[in-house]
Amino acid sequence: MTQQGAVLQGYNNELVKCIEDLCIQKEELNRQIQQAEEEKNKLQHEIQVLKDQLDCVCENLAQKVASRNELDKILAETEAAYMKILDSSRTLLNVLKKEVGSLKHTPELKTNVT
C-alpha cells in the first residue's frame, strides 16, 4: 500500500501544482481584464470629450454659415441698390446734359436796367 500511497501523493502534488498554475493564470487574466477595462473607460472618456468638442465645432460652424448666408443676402441687396443708384445717376446726368444743351440754343433773356 505504500506504493499506492506514494502514487496517490504524486497525483495530489501534481493536482495541487495544476490548481496553483490555474490560480496564477486567473490572477494574470484578472490583471489584464482590469487593464483592458481601464483602457476602455479612458477611451470612452476621450470619445465623450471629442463628441463634446465636435458638437461645439458643429454649432459654431452652423452659426458662421448662417452669418455668411446673411452677409451674402445683404451684399446682394446692397449691390442691387447700388446698381439702381448708378442707373438713376446716369439717367439724371443724361437729362441734365440735354437741359444744358437746350439752354445753349435758347435766346438769352435780357434784363431791363432803368
Q: Which residue carries 493536482 as its cell?
A: 15
Residue of higher predicted confidence among 66 and 108: 66
Q: Which residue carries 501534481 as its cell?
A: 14
Residue 19, all three cell numbers: 490548481
Residue 74, all three cell numbers: 445683404
Confidence category of residue 7, pLDDT binned at 50, 70, 90: confident
pLDDT tens string 36-95:
999 999 999 999 999 999 999 999 999 999 999 999 999 999 999 999 999 999 999 999
Q: Please give the model's pTM, rounded to 2 decimal places.
A: 0.59
pLDDT (0 to 100) of residue 24: 98
Supply the DSSP string of 37-97, one letter for each residue.
Answer: HHHHHHHHHHHHHHHHHHHHHHHHHHHHHHHHHHHHHHHHHHHHHHHHHHHHHHHHHHHHH
Query: Angle CA(33)–CA(37)–CA(39) in degrees, nearest 5?
Result: 115
Separation between Cα atoms, residue 75 and residue 30, nearest integer Å? 66
